[in-house]
Structure formats: C-alpha cells, structure tokens
C-alpha cells in the first residue's frame, strides 16, 4: 500500500521501458535523491522508505524506483545475473535521472543519488556519466568497487556509509575511496552489519545521509 504522502509515478528507464516509482516531495524541497536499491530489494523496501522519510524531514525529496522490470526480477532471483550488470543498471538510472530533470514538479531541484549494496555502484557510474548534473552521492552498505575505473570520473561529493561489523565491505569501500578524485568520506556505523538491522543503526544512516544532502544539495 502506498502512503497518502507518497505519489506513485511512472518513470522512463530507457530502452522503451518504464518503471513504477514512489515519489516523496516535501513542499519546501530543494533537492532530490534518486534511490538505486541493491539486489533482492525494491521500491517497497522498508529500509529505503525509512531513509526517504528522514530525508523528507530535511526538505530532500526522494524517488524510489526499480531498475529491473518485474520479468527481469524473476530471472534475477534465479540467476543473480542482472543485479551485477552495472552497465545496464547505470544506464537505466541515467534515463530515470533525465526523466526527473524534465518532470515539471522536479526540474528545479538539484539532484543526488542514494545507493544501497550493488545499487551504489550503479549510482556512481551514473554520476560519472552525468558529471555536474549530480551534486552528491550517498552509499549505504554499498559495493562502490564494482564501479571500477569510473570511480575516478565521479565529480559529486560522495559519502560511503558502512557497518562496523561488515568487515569485508569496509575494506572494499576504503579501496574505492582511494580511487576517487571527488571529495569522499568513509563513515563507519559501529556494530552494524550489512543491512543495518541492529537497533538505531539505520537511523544513524538516515541522519548521515540527510546531513550530506543538506550540505551538498
């Protein structure tokens, strides 16, 4: 069920494809964060919905969308192949961003990305592609390393948030940050595992993201 303060919109994701998305648009919004979720998640993710609510409290709008079609999601659940096709996901995020730029209610807002898990890599590749169109990127438990050589081409200030108990991903994020030329910070949330399911940890993520977007959007 869609909340009354959330609009459901249809977004172009390129290749003659459209996706359903949830748009939160505070009356005083000055920026928009497009969400690129990770594998096995969707626009219905309660974690991303919670973060979007906290962003709205800071006058940051959000667009939660699915970068795979329902048919592709079924295939991916069986093969886990498409979730790692960073090129495909990034192209669709770029298309969704271009849709947002042309959408009347959003076209005056500055733009940022919030990426989770593998979605963070897609967000960084898209940010590298769009250059100055993207003002900020936040990653939650992300795999920025999957963006490869495109990391060096990202111009948007980037915040990489990692759980303190997500040991392998901490290392991957630090290595990715070392490859970036844009302002970049790695922030560790103590005691959190990959999905930030521990009490209070997701709230810390949301506050960190809100502060980052408030600064750069």
Q: Please tell me the class of the 7-216 domain.
A: alpha beta
Tell me what the mean pLDDT of segment 60-78 comes to: 83
Q: Report the DSSP pairing between strands 31-36 and 60-65.
A: parallel
In DSSP terms, 31 is beta-bridged to: 60, 110
Whole-prediction pTM: 0.94
Instruction: Kindly report which listed range (69-73, 88-92, 95-99, 116-120) carries the lowest average pLDDT score.
Output: 69-73
For the chain, what is the mean pLDDT?
Answer: 92
The angle at the Cα of 96, spanning 194 to 186, to the nearest 5 degrees, equals 30
pLDDT tens digits, 167-183: 999 999 999 999 999 99
pLDDT band at 135 (very low <50, low <70, confident <90, very high): very high
Q: Looking at residue 71, what is its pLDDT?
A: 77
Q: Looking at residue 75, what is its pLDDT?
A: 74
Q: Where are the domains positioned within the chain?
A: 7-216
Cβ neighbors of 158 (< 8 A, separation 6 or more) are: 124, 127, 136, 137, 138, 139, 144, 177, 180, 182, 183, 184, 185
**Residue 137 in this model has a pLDDT that exceeds 90:** yes
**Residue 10 in this model has a pLDDT that exceeds 60:** yes
Cβ neighbors of 94 (< 8 A, separation 6 or more) are: 14, 126, 129, 130
What CA–CA distance (Å, rounded) separates 100 from 157?
A: 20
Q: Looking at residue 1, what is its pLDDT?
A: 41
Q: Please name the residue that has the structure tokens 């609510």.
A: 53
Q: Looking at residue 41, what is its pLDDT?
A: 66
């Amino acid at each position: 069920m869609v909340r009354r303060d959330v609009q459901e919109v249809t977004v172009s994701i390129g290749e003659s494809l459209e996706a359903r998305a949830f748009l939160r648009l505070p009356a005083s919004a000055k920026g928009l964060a497009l969400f690129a979720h990770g594998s096995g998640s969707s626009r219905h993710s309660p974690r991303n919905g919670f973060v979007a609510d906290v962003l709205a409290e800071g006058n940051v709008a959000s667009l939660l969308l699915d970068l795979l079609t329902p048919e592709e999601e079924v295939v991916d659940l069986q093969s886990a192949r498409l979730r790692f096709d960073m090129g495909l996901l990034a192209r669709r995020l770029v298309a969704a961003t271009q849709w947002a730029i042309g959408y009347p209610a959003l076209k005056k807002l500055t733009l940022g990305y919030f990426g989770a898990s593998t979605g963070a890599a897609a967000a960084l590749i898209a940010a590298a592609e769009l250059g100055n169109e993207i003002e900020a990127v936040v990653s939650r438990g992300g795999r920025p390393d999957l963006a490869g050589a495109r990391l060096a081409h990202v111009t948007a200030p980037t915040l990489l948030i990692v759980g303190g108990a997500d040991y392998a991903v901490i290392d991957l994020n630090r290595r990715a940050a070392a490859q970036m030329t844009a302002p970049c910070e790695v922030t560790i949330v103590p005691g959190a595992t990959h999905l930030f399911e521990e009490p209070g940890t997701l709230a810390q993520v949301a506050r960190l993201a809100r502060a980052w977007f408030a600064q750069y959007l």
